[in-house]
Structure 1
């Protein structure tokens, strides 16, 4: 929250943007970097230009931070703004409508078919090179005519990339699929009730799992800043749709009102049910979280905020499971863990499959941590960081000769809460309490969103 005359939270401390782009080489390493970590750790996040106030943390220009690891060394760090048309100050609207290339590209960075893409859900992806230079907007040879989610899902068996775009105007949701070679081969509208903010979705071996939840767009909110806010009247439901059938309809399941920014994963069980795990905000927590974000207070009514206050809401998400039965139409909801978490991840090799472990980040006074949840036993393990150091999303990198699901490492950028310093931590995914190595970065890296491990090209 901000007070009169104070700088907003998203411009201070661990969120404070950096003013420039730098390069540094031969970074100091504590411990021993596994020699087989040969590649780049890349992370995206908002970073306004010097002197800018975008009005909300989510709206700053995208900046990529990268660390090159090879042969047990941290060869370099560099950071670069994604040079979008928005960064150049071009108008969002054209004479015929909206220019989907005028975006901030600040949410994620992934690799598909040899192409690196900086993503934001409001428009087209931007291609970047392995040195973090911007190539330009990508519409997949003119075939993509909607926005692209920042959370596409790669099927580990087929190599296909499943994604979607949502819009404030009909069609509100459009499903897309890229081939393993990077060709856009499927685009089809999916019917939802209105302009919902669908930040994430899930896949299984045969289905897409949709989240039609009550955080919705309105033109009135757009005039005030962030256009999304909690809508009690919208309802909440989860949908499943066969992704191997171009004519498949969506089967919807009503659920308790909530919001989900990030899914863990989904899979099909032996009974043919769809099991979805995600970081779930209960209704009161969703309102408390959204209303407590700088620039978003006006997006909820006084009644909304009072309701959240009276419910003793923490504004935090917790891992939750929905089990959807296509035969009976029933749904079961089960809490998985009590500790507040966000940014759940897992091994990329198990996306859409029955995975045992989820990795996530936990925050709170004195309780910043990287956590590991065993969904088979319910046990949670944590790499505690204390009150002064916060962790970003933890990315799993498998060991080349690993046999167990958690044979590998977790990579995360940690930043002191005053913004003064950052490190790239390498944790043992089998025992997250054990720090394998830490790379000292040449500057404080602002808190950001999502990233990827990009193996070196042989």
Structure 2
């Protein structure tokens, strides 16, 4: 008898039903001003099998909130060309199909469009009912894949992102849209290898790329390994800095200690430099590509643009991931970073689930624990007022091993030690996944949300 892979059992296993359920039961009180959707994307292989956790077909889970009620839950697969037609990212001749991939990593909204994202594909448009409306290539202008971690500038409304290639140079292309969602900048960045670039950083004045020593290995790909990347100690780790006011200008490179970073909480300009917060791994996939995950913790990098040096500082030693901020402060000096303590990969042992709130100004950390057998996912921030960085809530799907179901839990971001404000009980479990967003209805005034 074959033992199922770790990413196909427990709460990593896919769910098989697409449901629509109404009038969800709630313990506590949903804040009355929260009207919109909480959406989260993650892998959910539609044939109940995949070679790696990262490769399962994307499924978006959504909970609808309206004026103090949890009115519905809905989950739908992202029906991209791989899902519908078994399309491959690369064919036998090496030709790339930008509509093919998993579409399983994040879901965001920009210029009125809701996009399901993963870094191997074009974005896919979702309807308000979470049905798939097709690939979105920005009117034929986007000719690369799109990162799952685009950044929206809160000042200009521009969307910044990048696309990566694996087989042929250029391996990195920087893109920018205006606030209306029209692609206005696409420029190739030369001198970069075929590395696994998952995230980047944005400030008011700069874009920062992370060129790190996890590289594409064609021999692994040919041999059929599900994750064709490996640690390369000979590949230098560095940060590339591009001025936003000169998007086709010089990219300056700054050496850092070897490491890997999946996620950047935020970055901002400060004096003659740039300050980044990152969730840093000391290395990744040195001996067992796609499976071995060392401890990741919160670090600060300070780039001195005058001296060319980067100061690297560990802020905490706790194993944590999936950082989020108040997105209205993206690229600015956001005081608080929220992260998750949980089993972040199927080969990690379960740990007591918690949310952490880091005060980046004082260094203090507060914690919300969920109790035995209750494991949270990434927590998105929902504002309670019009002040960026002000009061608000954290929303996270929490799996309960005792019931084999999941809840959407809402906690007060400013009082993590308090019990949850609301626990919304879902009709089925939500498998562990990746990234999501709180999407208030268009026209909703944040100041109307209130504390209750």
- TM-score w.r.t. structure 1 length? 0.91
Shift of 1:418: 7.1
In 1, Cα distance between equivalents of 2:342 and 2:94: 44
Shift of 1:130: 1.1
In 1, Cα distance between equivalents of 2:309 and 2:402: 47
SS at match of 1:268: strand
Shift of 1:49: 1.3
Once the two structures are superposed, residues 55-113 of structure 1 have per-residue CA deviations (whole angstroms, 9 ceiling, x without a partner) of: 00000000000000001000000100011100013332467821100122100000000
| Contact 1:14–1:419 (Cα < 8 Å) also in 2 | no
In 2, Cα distance between equivalents of 1:404 and 1:98: 41
| Contact 1:13–1:418 (Cα < 8 Å) also in 2 | no
| Contact 1:251–1:326 (Cα < 8 Å) also in 2 | no
2:124 alignment partner in structure 1? 126
| Contact 2:381–2:393 (Cα < 8 Å) also in 1 | yes
1:443 alignment partner in structure 2? 428
Relative to structure 1, the CA distance from residue 164 to residue 442 in structure 2 (aligned partners, 3 Å threshold; closer, same or farther) is same
Shift of 1:376: 1.3
In 2, Cα distance between equivalents of 1:55 and 1:254: 35
Counterpart pick for 2:142 among 138, 141, 144: 144
SS at match of 2:328: helix
SS at match of 2:385: coil
1:381 alignment partner in structure 2? 366
| Contact 1:15–1:419 (Cα < 8 Å) also in 2 | no
Question: Which moved further from structure 2: 249-258 or 178-187?
Answer: 249-258
In 1, Cα distance between equivalents of 2:304 and 2:39: 38
| Contact 1:32–1:72 (Cα < 8 Å) also in 2 | yes
Shift of 1:375: 1.2
**Structural RMSD (CA):** 1.8
Unaligned runs of 5+ in 2: 344-349, 444-452
Question: Which moved further from structure 2: 90-99 or 60-69?
Answer: 90-99
Once the two structures are superposed, residues 150-194 of structure 1 have per-residue CA deviations (whole angstroms, 9 ceiling, x without a partner) of: 000000000000000011120010000011000000000112431
Once the two structures are superposed, residues 382-406 of structure 1 have per-residue CA deviations (whole angstroms, 9 ceiling, x without a partner) of: 11124411111100011135x4724
SS at match of 1:106: coil
2:239 alignment partner in structure 1? 238
In 1, Cα distance between equivalents of 2:104 and 2:191: 26
1:203 alignment partner in structure 2? 202
In 2, Cα distance between equivalents of 1:90 and 1:221: 22
1:407 alignment partner in structure 2? 391
In 2, Cα distance between equivalents of 1:242 and 1:436: 42
Counterpart pick for 2:324 among 342, 345, 351: 345
1:15 aligns with 2:12: yes
1:83 alignment partner in structure 2? 79
| Contact 2:174–2:186 (Cα < 8 Å) also in 1 | yes
In 2, Cα distance between equivalents of 1:248 and 1:233: 28
In 1, Cα distance between equivalents of 2:272 and 2:19: 51
In 1, Cα distance between equivalents of 2:388 and 2:220: 48
In 1, Cα distance between equivalents of 2:262 and 2:401: 23
In 2, Cα distance between equivalents of 1:192 and 1:123: 23
1:60 aligns with 2:56: yes
1:280 aligns with 2:274: no
In 2, Cα distance between equivalents of 1:370 and 1:248: 40
Map 1:83-232 onto structure 2 (within 5 A): 83-92=79-88, 93=90, 97-168=95-166, 169-223=168-222, 224-232=225-233
| Contact 2:217–2:229 (Cα < 8 Å) also in 1 | yes
2:254 alignment partner in structure 1? 253
| Contact 1:396–1:411 (Cα < 8 Å) also in 2 | yes
Question: Which moved further from structure 2: 201-210 or 358-367?
Answer: 358-367
Relative to structure 1, the CA distance from residue 159 to residue 404 in structure 2 (aligned partners, 3 Å threshold; closer, same or farther) is closer
Shift of 1:246: 3.0
| Contact 2:352–2:374 (Cα < 8 Å) also in 1 | no
Question: Which moved further from structure 2: 60-69 or 433-442?
Answer: 433-442
Once the two structures are superposed, residues 218-256 of structure 1 have per-residue CA deviations (whole angstroms, 9 ceiling, x without a partner) of: 111113221112111112111111122133211111111
Unaligned runs of 5+ in 1: 298-304, 306-313
| Contact 1:205–1:267 (Cα < 8 Å) also in 2 | yes
Once the two structures are superposed, residues 34-55 of structure 1 have per-residue CA deviations (whole angstroms, 9 ceiling, x without a partner) of: 11110000000000013x4210
In 2, Cα distance between equivalents of 1:382 and 1:417: 21
| Contact 1:357–1:406 (Cα < 8 Å) also in 2 | no
Question: Which moved further from structure 2: 375-384 or 356-365?
Answer: 356-365
1:308 alignment partner in structure 2? none
Relative to structure 1, the CA distance from residue 178 to residue 418 in structure 2 (aligned partners, 3 Å threshold; closer, same or farther) is farther
In 1, Cα distance between equivalents of 2:94 and 2:220: 23
